Amino acid sequence: MAVSRSKKQATLIGLVAVLLWSSIVGLIRGVSESFGATGGAALMYTVAAALLWLTVGPPRTRALPRAYLIWGSLLFVAYELCLSLSIGYANTGRQAIEVGMVNYLWPSFTMLAAIAFNGQRANWLVVPGFLLAILGIASVLGGDQGLDLAGMAGNVQDNPLSYGLAFAGAMIWAGYCTVTSRIAQGKNAVTLFFMLTALALWGKYLFTDGETMVIGLKGITYLILAACAMGFGYAAWNVGILQGNVTVLAGASYFIPVISAAVAAVLLHAPLSLSFWKGAAMVCAGSILCWLATRGRGTRGPAASQTRT
């Protein structure tokens, strides 16, 4: 009974991570509005790295496999740069939410990469799952008209940098999940990776025309909340994955896009149309189908070990 209760508690802690990560898009946007896309992200990852140092622990580089240290660092930092800057560079709150939704193509991409490169076995559900996720993103980007190719093209052309970074980030994270599952040997270097991300962002801020930072109560509040959501989110997820019900947590993680959009819509005062919600639901459903396609077929689904915001 004690073991069962402990497992349930760990699962609940893992579910807290899902809720924390669901707030990331809105919080990153709030930080960028006060401190700029680059400066805000640099501050956020600096504070989050400090929180991870205290909760997960300091990095132990000597205990890490060399391949994981190199490739994990490169892919993780590249992804976090794409994620934070794509949201920070968005022109409006609504666009930031759309950009965040494009990022949520990573579960489907990860499944395809696992099948292609890691020998993950899957059934036919992976095909409609991937197509449904793509159609969902097309519906989100089509605006109030839903699946409208002209509207989608015009929307992307309005800010190709943000949408391009989000799409690249989704592919990079799929690569990270696929590669690290083979070379990490059960190690976790997330504290180090956050520190490297902060350094990369500060380098970009210092050696380019960094945006002006407007220091105020609103910006500081968003900064603290965003850093806590990232730092404590990883800490809570580690507890859930190591001690809780992995299946429950993996399934819950696929609902992050819808929860994230709802939270961001409130935080950014950006009303979303019915077509957006239909598209978001399609992205979730597509990811779940891809996940179901691999259940009981060898390698564990990637969300069970490498989920992300």
Is 309 contained in some domain?
A: no
The answer to whether the CB of 189 falls within 8 A of the CB of 306 is no
Task: Inform me whether the pLDDT recorded for 2 exceeds 60.
Answer: no
Q: CB neighbours of 69 closer than 8 A, spacing ≥ 6?
A: 61, 189
Is 115 contained in some domain?
A: yes
Task: Inform me whether the pLDDT recorded for 304 exceeds 50.
Answer: no
Task: Inform me whether the pLDDT recorded for 210 exceeds 80.
Answer: no
Is 137 contained in some domain?
A: yes
Is 258 contained in some domain?
A: yes
Is 165 contained in some domain?
A: yes
Domain that holds residue 42: 7-293
- CA distance linking residue 281 with residue 277, whole number of Å: 6
Is 301 contained in some domain?
A: no
Is 250 contained in some domain?
A: yes
pLDDT at 156: 84
Task: Inform me whether the pLDDT recorded for 299 exceeds 50.
Answer: no
Q: Stretch 37-65: mean pLDDT, rounded?
A: 90
Q: What is the domain count for the chain?
A: 1
* 3-state SS class at 255: coil
∠ CA 217-263-303 to the nearest 5 degrees? 120
**Model confidence over 153-208: pLDDT tens digits?**
877 888 999 999 999 999 998 888 888 878 888 788 889 999 999 999 999 998 88
pLDDT at 87: 94
Query: Average pLDDT of the chain?
Result: 84
Supply the pTM of this predicted model: 0.86
